[in-house]
Amino acid sequence: MAAVGESLNTPITAGILGLGIGLAIILFVLIVVRPDATPLAAVFGYLVLLAFGAPAYFIASFGAGMGLADTYMISGADYSPWARPLYLTSFLALFAVLTIGAVDLTRRHRRATPPVAT
- What digits encode the pLDDT tens for the residues 31-87? 999 999 999 999 999 999 999 999 999 999 999 999 999 999 999 888 899 999 999
109 has a pLDDT exceeding 80: yes
Categorize the per-residue pLDDT at 114 as very low, low, confident or very high, splitting at 50, 70 and 90: confident
Compare 78 and 29 and report the one with higher pLDDT.
Answer: 29
The C-alpha atoms of residue 21 and residue 87 are separated, in whole angstroms, by 18
Categorize the per-residue pLDDT at 21 as very low, low, confident or very high, splitting at 50, 70 and 90: very high
Is residue 45 within 8 A of residue 27, CB to CB? The reply is yes
How much is the pLDDT for 102? 96
28 has a pLDDT exceeding 90: yes
Q: At 18, is the secondary structure helix, strand, or coil?
A: helix
Q: At 79, is the secondary structure helix, strand, or coil?
A: coil
How much is the pLDDT for 54? 96
This prediction has a pTM of 0.85
| Amino acid identity, position 54 | A
Is residue 63 within 8 A of residue 9, CB to CB? The reply is yes
Q: In whole numbers, what is the pLDDT of the chain averaged over residues?
A: 93
How much is the pLDDT for 52? 97
How much is the pLDDT for 113? 81
